[in-house]
Copies of this chain bind each other. A is one copy, B any other.
Amino acid sequence: MRLYTYHRSSASYRVRIGLEWKGIDREDRFVDLGKGQQLEAAYLEENPEGRVPLLVDGDVRLGQALAILEYLEEKVPEPPLLPKDLAGRARVRQLALLVVADIQPLQNTGPLVYLGEALEVSDPLRFQWYKHWVHRGLSAFEAHLARDPATGRFCHGDAPTLADVCVVPQLVNWCRNAGGDLSEWPHLARVFEACQALEAFQRAAPERQPDSPDAPPQA
């Protein structure tokens, strides 16, 4: 499979975790969002949404991280990233979407740039916006984890699922931008630690990617 990715993109990060977890080999194509390459004509030909990640698997050409993860789950079911029972699958998808639909879109680079350039919102107020939406969303996520007996070592039970795959990049983003304190959210902090101990999550991390300035030397 071929993955169009950017090291700092948290949506790409989700898909990298999913591919690593399932042991799927990939060929990376790097799209430098810092240089706006996602909006260049050559890339828009690949993905008219002008976003990463994009997965190409034979005739399948697929954007939207969560759609890619559901596709991988159906194509390569083991090891799973969704539980088998209906209620569990629904809960995991709800938690994943809390990140994908309620947090990440609002704190993504595009809206933050638009706030500054088009709406002339000051940097401190843009940071307030970032913190407001991420804090609100992660607090709701924590409330779900705290009140539901289905929470285990990971967000749902004792193995990682799409919920962990989606929330870990959001937590990494929060730590990078807002000082790294997760003590307000003890369940999230514990799940984060459990995920970060897994090789699949480690290998997918931004600083491990070849397009990162922090990448380790290639063999």
Contacts and interface: CB of A to CB of B under 8 A. Distances in A.
A94 B63 CA distance: 6
A92 to B, nearest CB: 8
A104 interface: yes
Contacts of A128: 118-119
Given A64-B98, A121-B119, A125-B119, A140 B49 contact: yes
Interface in A80-114: 86-87, 89-91, 93-94, 96-98, 100-102, 104-106, 111, 114
A64 B93 contact: yes
A60 interface: yes
Contact of A74 (B71, B89, B143): B89
A115 B64 CA distance: 26
Contact of A86 (B68, B74, B147): B74
Interface residues on A, range: 35 or more
Contact of A70 (B71, B90, B125): B90
B104 A106 contact: no
Interface string A120-143: 010001001100110000001001
B101 A140 contact: no
B97 A86 contact: no
A176 interface: no
A158 B51 CA distance: 28
